[in-house]
Amino acid sequence: MLNNSFKKYVYIAFFVFIFLYIAYYIVTFFSLPKLVIKNFEEEDFLIVATEEYVLEGTAINVKKILINNKEIFLDIDKNFKEKLYLFPKENQYIIEYFLRNNKSFKRQIGVYRE
């Protein structure tokens, strides 16, 4: 038979684990999202000379990302990469990203092709 003090430690460990699990999900549920896009850290506009541009970055506390209403794949580390085909002159993209509670945020970026 198990010792009563051992049972007590098992119960305490179980409840501590459950408390930490719930606390983690509460904190992440109410955390604001952060979208870090490579080459767009300082400005939301970029000038390129190619017909294609690979938009890549990291989404923190984000459930999904849409670029011009097209859903973008997020890997396990919440990184994303999407190839954009550019028209001559100015190209505008609206990036919408969602929290777990479906609250959304929008960011507009521009890519100018020379």
Whether the full predicted model's pTM is greater than 0.95, yes or no, is no
Using one digit for the tens of pLDDT, what is the confidence trace for 19-42? 999 998 787 777 778 889 998 888
Taking alpha carbons only, the member of 82, 78, 87, 71 closest to residue 33 is 78
Q: Domain map of the chain by residue range?
A: 1-30, 34-113
* Cα(89)–Cα(95) distance, integer angstroms: 20
Name the CATH architecture for the domain at 34-113. Sandwich (2.60)
Phi-psi region of 107 (alpha: psi -120 to 50; beta: other; left: phi over 0): beta
* Cα(64)–Cα(94) distance, integer angstroms: 14
Report pLDDT for 26.
81
Say yes or no to pLDDT of 17 above 80: yes
Using one digit for the tens of pLDDT, what is the confidence trace for 28-87? 777 778 889 998 888 889 999 999 999 999 998 888 999 999 999 999 999 999 999 999
